[in-house]
Chains A and B, each alone.
Chain A
């Protein structure tokens, strides 16, 4: 609408043609776009090739072979399973925790505001460094968490170095870093809700569970959706925490998509398989990000409307 009014009111005497100007301004952004798209399409090409860095002479198109071989490859199914499991568990727990904490901090008191600012600190810590911090705390020799675990009877709790507890440990780090993300978005959502429905419900003596499920949750849904999809998109591609903590190990316990692609590329130098893995992950994230962007745009328009 503003654009239309602008076309009519535009003052005369523009030196750079008004048609060209926006293109000139956005040209650099366009170039970056192209710079991203070229390697992206290269990845697509690689994924249809038999391509190993160790055997460059044997490089040739094998079309769908990389993808077809995934069907019978237990390592691939392990990657898919652990990636979905990791994303599902972290996002679900972070959503529940984040919503709970946001509701605890909803009232605008000095203490609550102070705590919500403090809780931002894990989120602002580089995930790779956060993983290192937890690695130091879970060190079997001197780690304070290993000591605390032994106090409650968990002697020799191996944290990230045992296959049975590695997933638990990286999920814990992920929760530590990213719960504040969901918390802070939902807190902003909660605080922006209109007060009348809640006042009316309190006047009528409506039970609190009813208020929560029938008023708070429905009104908060756009925020919950945006926060959840945002996290889901990042979580399914988690690399930093897992790589810094265990490098996908022990064994192939934690070889999620990006870690597996990294190991394929740099350790087994199998570029073709690595690219095919990334294309599959991209397809998943593309699907999710389309849903996300729809929700995100709706929320963005609402925020702009309030401005």
Chain B
């Protein structure tokens, strides 16, 4: 394997450099734009050296934007809060519903178990709008339109299949004998689940939860269809941002940076589990 020629190593180096530039450049560039004033952004050719300013971030955080035409209220912090709240609650609900179900699917073969598991999985791959468009009409009738509860319920479509299938794999990896031994010692089913199964599957549950969080955070279409401005997460809010007049490009960039930082940070933290999670438990990293 080690007899690679010098030429080949140089070519590999060039190819890798190009790959890294292509995939990292947009993030670096937007990050740089977020520290620039509109004047430096609009300068041609684009500037690589500039005096960084935090003005874009302070405008977003205080929600007050001073322009030549006066002050403008921007509700970006509201969007950010919506994203945090919707993602955290959705994942919590999905864990509460999904982990016991995953345990049941892993440990008990019962009538219809595979059917439920596969229905959930197949809807992971069904077009979102197929379900969302009728739901908008139902939600209006039920009074769930533009409520957090309605949104959290719909977010289960993303979180639940993910958690169910990943955690199920982790439960299946626990040797059943450990659980029998504990049961034979006279402990109840619930105690076994809580004291043996849950701790052993802990890392898997945490990883599935983190991934579900990332997917919930990154979701766009659910909130676009079902939420209006005051309930919208950052993905939808940032889009409204770019079309509204008076907002400057530096602020849009800063909003994008604030919106993608949580998922990027979580992904770096949980990167060990990403391969397994992204393939819904089919590939081990």
Residues of A within 8 A of B (CB): 2-3, 5-6, 9-11, 14-16, 19, 21-23, 25-26, 28-30, 32-33, 35-40, 42-43, 46, 100-101, 104-105, 115, 117-130, 132-137, 139, 141-142, 144, 147, 176, 179-181, 184-185, 188-189, 192, 198, 202, 223, 226-227, 230, 233-234, 237, 239-240, 243-244, 257-258, 261-262, 265, 271, 274-275, 278-279, 281-282, 285-286, 288-289, 292-293, 296-297, 299-300, 303-304, 306-307
Contact = CB atoms under 8 A, between A and B. Distances in A.
Interface stretch (B50-58, B61-69, B70-78, B153-161): B153-161
A126 B118 contact: no
Contacts of A5: 176
A189 B283 contact: yes
Contacts of A22: 104-105, 107-108, 110, 113
Q: Which of A189, A265, A286 has the most CB of B within 10 A?
A: A265
A176 B19 contact: no
B227 interface: no
A292 B249 CA distance: 42
Which 9 pairs from chain A and chain B are nearest by CB? A126-B218, A25-B104, A28-B97, A128-B220, A22-B108, A124-B267, A29-B101, A42-B134, A39-B134
B109 A239 contact: no
Contact of A282 (B126, B134, B183, B221): B126
A39 B131 contact: yes
15 contacts: A15-B188, A22-B105, A25-B101, A36-B123, A124-B267, A129-B235, A142-B44, A198-B1, A234-B125, A240-B220, A286-B126, A296-B280, A300-B281, A304-B169, A306-B284
B200 interface: no
B128 interface: yes
B230 interface: no
B233 to A, nearest CB: 9
A19 B46 CA distance: 68
A118 B23 contact: yes
Given A28-B97, A128-B235, A275 B279 contact: no
A39 B97 contact: no
A124 B263 contact: yes
Contacts of B134: 39-40, 42-43, 46, 275
Interface of B: 1, 12, 15-16, 19-20, 22-24, 26-27, 29-30, 33, 41-46, 96-98, 100-101, 103-105, 107-110, 113, 116, 118-123, 125-135, 137-138, 153, 156-157, 160, 164, 169, 172-173, 176, 180, 183-184, 188-189, 214, 217-221, 224-225, 234-236, 238-239, 242, 249, 252-253, 256, 259-260, 263-264, 266-268, 271, 274-276, 278-285
B106 to A, nearest CB: 9
B169 A300 contact: yes
B173 to A, nearest CB: 5
Given A26-B101, A129-B259, A43 B131 contact: yes
B129 A136 contact: no
A43 B183 contact: no
Contact of B271 (A117, A179, A271, A297): A117
Contact of A176 (B22, B42, B97, B188): B22
B-side binding surface: helix, strand, loop or mixed?
helix
A134 B26 contact: yes
Q: Which of A144, A239, A281 has the most CB of B within 10 A?
A: A144
Contact of B24 (A33, A118, A244): A118
Contact of A28 (B26, B101, B180): B101
Given A26-B100, A285-B127, 16 more contacts: A6-B176, A11-B183, A25-B100, A28-B100, A39-B132, A46-B134, A126-B235, A133-B27, A137-B29, A137-B30, A142-B41, A147-B46, A181-B278, A243-B221, A289-B126, A300-B280
Contacts of B225: 262
A19 B180 CA distance: 17
Contacts of B184: 11
Contact of B285 (A11, A125, A188): A188
B133 A278 contact: yes
Given A135-B242, A303-B283, A188 B275 contact: yes
Nearest to B163: A29
Contacts of B156: 32
Nearest to B139: A39
